[in-house]
Amino acid sequence: MDDENSHLTAGAAALLAESDERRIRAIRSRRWVLYPRAKQALDRLSLLLDHPRGTRMPSVAVYGDSGMGKTMIMKRFRDDHPPSFNSVTGTLRTPVLAMEMTSRPGERRFYAELLTLLGAPQRPRADIAQMEQAALRIMEAIGVQVLVIDEVHNILAGSYREQRIVLNTLRFLSNRLQISLVCFGVNDAREAIGGDVQLARRFEQFTLTRWSANEQFETLVASILRNTPLRRPSVLTPKSLRRILQITEGVTASIFHMINSLAVEAIENGHEQFTDEAVEKWHPEFDVEAAFA
Ligand SMILES: Nc1ncnc2c1ncn2[C@@H]1O[C@H](COP(=O)(O)OP(=O)(O)OP(=O)(O)O)[C@@H](O)[C@H]1O
Ligand SMILES: [Mg+2]
């Protein structure tokens, strides 16, 4: 890597050779930036894959407000442990299976979603017992070790009875297949999982709290800047960092959005760096307060 570009990761530095349009597109389609809290979550989840099979498999619930990066972590975890083909046995192994809790919970809907994901959609009139058997058989055959469920707070959209049934189904799958569960959801999801005491006891909780003025937040911003293909290095003062927190209310998605849009601005106006002045002037395109004033 050029010494000149030592403020960037190798990937970001390579983009400097591209046109402005391409750099802007790269910023807008930014995929994944690793920050310490996400790494902690991923490390914790990876441990589940090393756990020996047993009757009470450990599980993890990741909670956080909307936009805190839960789905990003889920996809990363899934993609870090992709299906692999065993050429000796001729079988496919899928250690991590990731799904979304259906928007209205129910045993049938849950199994229908799972079976579609497994590539075995069922006839609309298949009975639940058949669906359950098919899901168990396929998951066993492909060696699922961790079942990941995003949007787990959707369970709360069901009636009390539906909620109990879905939680029962989760416990049943975990026991029967001796697999770990990983659930992602907004803070209300605690209540959803808490509806089944036995199930809840197995879950270790991991919370993604909103960012606040501390070293972790500085590390996040520094990681994003290192991944942002601007020609000149930037140093953001504590004042700018506070401003970013204030505007974004400490929500990960908004922090990425704000920094990305400042980066695009810095390419378009040729400044090629983040400045305190630009941070100070920045406003979200759609200002709710202004709209209702
Ligand atoms: N590690 C990351 N790297 C890059 N961008 C990220 C990262 N984490 C979050 N983002 C940005 O924040 C946005 C929201 O993240 P995500 O969809 O994971 O939030 P969420 O917690 O699942 O929210 P919701 O509860 O509404 O589903 C992403 O679309 C992405 O733009
Ligand atoms: Mg999400």
Q: Is 14 left (phi over 0), alpha (psi -120 to 50) or beta?
A: alpha
How many whole angstroms separate alpha carbon 222 and alpha carbon 29?
19
For residue range 206-232, list pLDDT tens digits in order: 999 999 999 999 999 999 999 999 999
Q: In the numeric block, which tokens belong to residue 141?
A: 């055959």
Closest C-alpha residue for ligand 1 atom 16: 69
The residues spanned by each domain of the chain are: 3-30+227-292, 36-208
Provide the pLDDT for residue 286. 65
Token look-up 């929500």 returns 251
Provide the pLDDT for residue 1. 47
For residue range 30-44, list pLDDT tens digits in order: 889 999 999 999 999
Q: Which are the contacts of 243, defined by CB distance < 8 A and separation ≥ 6?
A: 279, 280
CATH class in words for 36-208: alpha beta
Residues, CB within 5 angstroms of ligand 2 (ion): 70-71
One-character DSSP codes across 206-240: EEEPPP-SSHHHHHHHHHHHHTS--SS-----HHH
Q: Which are the contacts of 225, defined by CB distance < 8 A and separation ≥ 6?
A: 7, 234, 236, 259, 274
Which ligand is nearest the CA of 248, by number? Answer: 1
Which ligand is nearest the CA of 185, by number? Answer: 1
8 Å CB contact between 255 and 284? no
| DSSP E strand boundaries for the chain | 59-64, 84-86, 91-93, 96-100, 146-150, 180-185, 203-208
pTM here is 0.93
How far from the centroid of its chain's Cα atoms is residue 141's Cα? 27
Closest C-alpha residue for ligand 1 atom 18: 69
Provide the pLDDT for residue 3. 65
Closest C-alpha residue for ligand 1 atom 27: 66
Distance 60 CA to ligand 1 centre (A): 19
Atom of ligand 1 nearest to the CA of 208: 21
Atom of ligand 1 nearest to the CA of 185: 25
Total number of residues shown for the chain: 293
Q: In the numeric block, which tokens belong to residue 179?
A: 């697999």
Q: Is the pLDDT of residue 84 over 70?
A: yes
How many whole angstroms separate alpha carbon 217 and alpha carbon 215?
5
Name which of 232, 238, 222, 216 is nearest 269 in CA terms: 232
For residue range 147-188, list pLDDT tens digits in order: 999 999 999 999 999 999 999 999 999 999 999 999 999 999
Distance 292 CA to ligand 1 centre (A): 27
What is the pLDDT confidence band of residue 289, given thresholds at 50, 70 and 90? Answer: low
Instruction: Provide the CB-side half-sphere exposure for 178 (13 A, CA).
Output: 7
Other CB atoms within a 10 A radius of the CB of residue 169 amount to 19
Provide the pLDDT for residue 293. 45
Residues contacting ligand 1 via CB (< 6 Å): 30, 32-33, 38, 64, 66-72, 186, 252-253, 256
Question: H-helix or E-strand containing 271?
Answer: none
Q: In the numeric block, which tokens belong to residue 156?
A: 């709360």
Which ligand is nearest the CA of 31, by number? Answer: 1
Pocket perturbation via mutation, ligand 1, pick of 71, 156, 186 by most ligand atoms within 8 A of CB: 71
Average pLDDT score over the chain? 93
How many whole angstroms separate alpha carbon 100 and alpha carbon 118?
13
Atom of ligand 1 nearest to the CA of 32: 3
| Least confident segment among 87-101, 114-128, 278-292 | 278-292
Return the SS3 of 273. coil
Residues 248, 101, 80: CA angle, nearest 5 degrees: 70
Q: Output the CA–CA distances (angstroms, integers) from residue 16 to 13, 124, 203, 227, 273, in the order listed.
A: 5, 53, 45, 12, 13
Distance 23 CA to ligand 1 centre (A): 21
Identify the burial level of 124 via C-beta atoms within 10 angstroms of its C-beta, where 0-12 means exposed, 13-18 middle and 19 or more buried. Answer: exposed
